[in-house]
Amino acid sequence: MKNILQKIIIPFVSLTFLLSITLTSCTTPAGEVDNAEEDVVEANEDLVKANQEYATDVAKYKEEIDEKIARNDQTLLDLKKEEQIRKAERKESYNNEIAKLEQKNEALKMEMLDYKLEGKDNWDTFKTDFNERMNELDKEFEDLTSKKEKTTPEKANESI
């Protein structure tokens, strides 16, 4: 009897166990479709979020640049006012420097205004390049401003 039990029941139990494991581990095509749909929905949500962050980054950067450009515009106005007190031999050179700064500032302003959302990679490249040129322009403004401070009549009188 024990031999029959081993020959019939043990294989039957083993077969039943294997069948139950096989059936429970298989996913149906409908289940795979549901999983794929969930993955697509999640990927779309991630894409929307990334695009929103990108658009927010661009808008924030544009605001910062607008402020810098407005400061540059004000500095240009101040420099133009002070150009009236410059000596005649320095006036033409000074006006040329102001005109160059004005052109560069206007070009950067237009480039920022014309920027279109063209993808995060393009944005990062644009932003890096734009920052370099903006920093160069800021340095040129500082250089011209420091020249201006050295040559104003008030400074000349102070050294006497």
Q: Where are the domains of the chain?
A: 63-160
- pLDDT, tens only, 39-75: 878 888 888 898 899 999 999 999 999 999 999 999 9
The model's pTM is: 0.56
C-beta separation of 58 from 123 below 8 A: yes
C-beta separation of 148 from 82 below 8 A: yes
- pLDDT, tens only, 68-125: 999 999 999 888 887 766 666 677 888 889 999 999 999 999 999 999 988 888 999 9
Other beta carbons less than 10 A from residue 69's beta carbon: 18
Contacts of residue 104, Cβ cutoff 8 Å, sequence gap at least 6: 133, 137, 140
Give me the helices (H) in 83-119, please: 88-114
- Fill in the amino acid letter for 99: A
